[in-house]
């Protein structure tokens, strides 16, 4: 019997993950490991009376089905586990054979373990694995989801904060959210109302956002946001480990600007003015990337030994966010649920209009990237991390232009530039940008490559001159 055939036989079950066990007359000892693993990861079904044979299954049935059911439920309600575990159970009759199925949901109070904390298990693929101490610590922090960075940091005060970063933040708020009431507060009221400080001490959130690096590192010794550009589609095909790595910044506010400045070079943007008259560079792709960056900064578990990172490959941008989600991913995407891991940080980003007022911004990320790239990001969800992968359109290579060959030139934009120049040698860069639908910066970058590769030249001055395609 195949897995599909087994699922068809047990058609009433909504399959997510499952584990089969023979359990002829008694509960197997390994069942408690699976209960712990399902409770700590994504939930799943335990099916008793089924034997796995390679890639297929055999219904063997259980004896004393009612007793096994009661033994299982009573154990979960007893003192063996550190928390009460509720289950959904089903009994199936296949001819003269009885099969029991128990659904164990993901538990809100992780870690779930039996006898002692060392018996904490997580689900990896189709196997139950003993959780490491770091993974257990991560689950314990998740129990305090939304409150850890709201605590005050010992031995901190106003001098722990960077004046430069605070002034930059207040200026940014005045420019992009001038109607916010906080713009009228003096410094003390500003710091306390936004919970950057409380009772003379910095909150962990306030310290991470605006702190001086030396003060932050007393509590977070490996504090960093790791942005790296890799010259390849993966580490294996890259000639060098990386071509750029963001330098250490004072705090998260400074890291945001440094990372965003680098990211927007990878996405075509268009310049426009806000209603307040301020210049801004916007495109659906850039908005999607910005939302992902802010999401990462707001939802990272900063007490984790892992650090948030951005990897910029030639064909994709990958955001790695340490820390699990407070609810199943589908539920967060389907509803406007606002449960940020770091609520003070979330508010600080919202007050300068860099984050959504509700939800996790996942729909905004997907919709904007699809409008820009015709794809949606790929999400890889683990119980202690989230990876968001933005696929970028691979450069189309022009194999022959005017009888020459180049492996460097992008046919998608550069090819169109050559076509436009052939039609009108006096065409301007703004006109090309408007017709092709990319930024003027992108046109300029492609023209430089065309000149370098010998496909295009400029005759005469910028004004009054013309383009020439090399034949």
Consecutive H or E run containing 388: strand 385-391
Mean pLDDT of 97-119: 90
The yes-or-no answer to whether 3-131 and 414-469 have a common fold is no
Percent of the chain beyond pLDDT 90?
38
Q: How confident is the model at residue 138 (pLDDT cuts 50, 70, 90)?
A: confident
Q: What was the pLDDT predicted at 13?
A: 54
What lies within 8 Å, CB to CB, of 332 at 6+ separation is 325, 326, 339, 359, 360, 362
d(CA 66, CA 64): 6
Percent of the chain beyond pLDDT 70?
84
Judge whether 313 and 230 are in contact, CB under 8 Å.
yes
Q: How confident is the model at residue 405 (pLDDT cuts 50, 70, 90)?
A: very low
Judge whether 297 and 225 are in contact, CB under 8 Å.
yes
d(CA 469, CA 454): 9
Q: In angstroms, how far is the first alpha carbon of the chain from the final one? A: 67
190-214 burial string, b = 16+ CB within 10 Å, else e? Answer: bbeebbbbeeebbbbbbbbbbbbee
The token duo for 236 is: 């294996």
3-state secondary structure of 469: strand
Mean pLDDT of 92-98: 86
DSSP annotation string for 91-111: EEEETTEEEEEEEEPPPSSPP
Is the pLDDT assigned to residue 19 strictly greater than 90? no
Residue 85's CB is within 10 A of a number of other CB atoms, namely 21
Q: How confident is the model at residue 139 (pLDDT cuts 50, 70, 90)?
A: confident
Q: How confident is the model at residue 173 (pLDDT cuts 50, 70, 90)?
A: very high
Mean pLDDT of 285-313: 92
Q: Which DSSP state fits 394? A: P
Judge whether 34 and 103 are in contact, CB under 8 Å.
no
| Residue with token string 């009661």 | 70
d(CA 198, CA 344): 12
Q: How confident is the model at residue 316 (pLDDT cuts 50, 70, 90)?
A: very high
In Å, how far from its chain's centre is CA 323? 10
Is the pLDDT assigned to residue 280 strictly greater than 90? no
Architecture of domain 158-391: 2-Layer Sandwich (3.30)
Residue 118's CB is within 10 A of a number of other CB atoms, namely 11
Query: Best-predicted range by mean pLDDT among 134-143, 207-216, 334-343, 451-460?
Result: 207-216
The domains of the chain are located at 3-131, 158-391, 414-469
Q: Which DSSP state fits 182? A: G
- pTM, full prediction: 0.63
d(CA 259, CA 276): 25
Q: What was the pLDDT predicted at 225?
A: 96
Higher local confidence (pLDDT), 405 or 103: 103
Instruction: Say whether the peptide bond before residue 111 is cis (omega within 30 degrees of 0).
Output: yes
Q: What was the pLDDT predicted at 360?
A: 59
Beta bridge partners of 211: 161
Q: What was the pLDDT predicted at 397?
A: 33
Quote the strand ranges of 157-236, DSSP E.
197-198, 201-202, 226-229
d(CA 9, CA 54): 19
Domain 3-131 has CATH 3.30.950.30: yes
Across all residues in the chain, what is the average pLDDT?
83
Fold of the domain spanning 414-469: Arc Repressor Mutant, subunit A (1.10.10)
The token duo for 311 is: 């990897």
Q: How confident is the model at residue 219 (pLDDT cuts 50, 70, 90)?
A: very high
Is the pLDDT assigned to residue 419 strictly greater than 50? yes
Q: How confident is the model at residue 465 (pLDDT cuts 50, 70, 90)?
A: confident
């Amino acid at each position: 019997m195949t897995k599909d055939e087994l699922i068809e036989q047990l058609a009433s079950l909504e399959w997510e993950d499952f584990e089969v066990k023979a359990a002829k007359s008694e509960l197997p000892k390994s069942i408690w490991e699976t209960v712990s693993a399902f409770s700590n990861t994504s939930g799943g079904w335990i099916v008793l009376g089924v034997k796995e044979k390679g890639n297929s299954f055999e219904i063997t049935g259980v004896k004393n089905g009612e007793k096994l059911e009661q033994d299982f439920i009573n154990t979960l309600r007893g003192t063996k586990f550190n928390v009460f575990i509720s289950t959904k159970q089903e009994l199936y009759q296949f001819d003269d054979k009885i099969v029991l199925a128990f659904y164990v949901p993901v538990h809100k109070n992780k870690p779930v373990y039996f006898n002692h904390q060392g018996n904490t298990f997580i689900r990896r693929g189709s196997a139950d694995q003993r959780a490491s101490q770091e993974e257990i610590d991560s689950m314990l922090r998740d129990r305090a989801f939304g409150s850890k960075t709201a605590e005050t940091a010992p031995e901190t005060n106003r001098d722990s904060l960077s004046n430069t970063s605070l002034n930059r933040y207040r200026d940014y708020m005045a420019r992009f959210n001038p109607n916010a009431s906080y713009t009228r507060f003096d410094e003390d009221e500003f710091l306390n109302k936004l919970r950057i400080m409380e009772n003379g001490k910095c909150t962990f959130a306030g310290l991470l956002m605006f702190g001086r690096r030396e003060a932050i590192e007393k509590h977070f010794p490996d504090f960093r946001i790791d942005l790296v550009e890799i010259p390849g589609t993966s580490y294996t095909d890259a000639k060098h480990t990386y071509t750029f790595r963001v330098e250490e910044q004072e705090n998260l506010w400074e890291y945001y600007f440094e990372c965003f400045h680098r990211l927007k070079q990878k996405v075509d943007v268009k310049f426009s003015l806000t209603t307040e008259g301020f210049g801004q560079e916007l495109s659906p792709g850039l908005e999607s990337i910005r939302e992902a960056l802010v999401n990462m900064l707001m939802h990272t578990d900063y007490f984790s030994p892992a650090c948030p990172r951005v990897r910029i490959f030639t064909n994709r941008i990958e955001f790695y966010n340490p820390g699990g989600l407070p609810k199943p991913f589908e539920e967060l995407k389907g509803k406007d649920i606002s449960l940020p891991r770091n609520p003070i940080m979330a508010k600080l980003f919202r007050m300068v209009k860099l984050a959504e007022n509700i939800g996790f911004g996942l729909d905004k990320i997907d919709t904007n990237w699809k409008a820009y790239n015709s794809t949606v990001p790929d999400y890889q969800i683990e119980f202690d991390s989230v990876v968001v992968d933005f696929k970028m359109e691979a450069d189309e290579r022009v194999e022959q232009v005017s009888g020459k060959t180049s492996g460097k030139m992008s046919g998608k934009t550069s090819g169109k530039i050559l076509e436009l120049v052939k039609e009108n040698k006096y065409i301007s860069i703004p006109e090309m940008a408007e017709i092709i639908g990319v930024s003027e910066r992108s046109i300029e970058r492609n023209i430089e490559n065309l000149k370098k590769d010998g496909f295009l030249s400029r005759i005469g001055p910028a004004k009054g001159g013309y383009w020439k395609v090399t034949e």
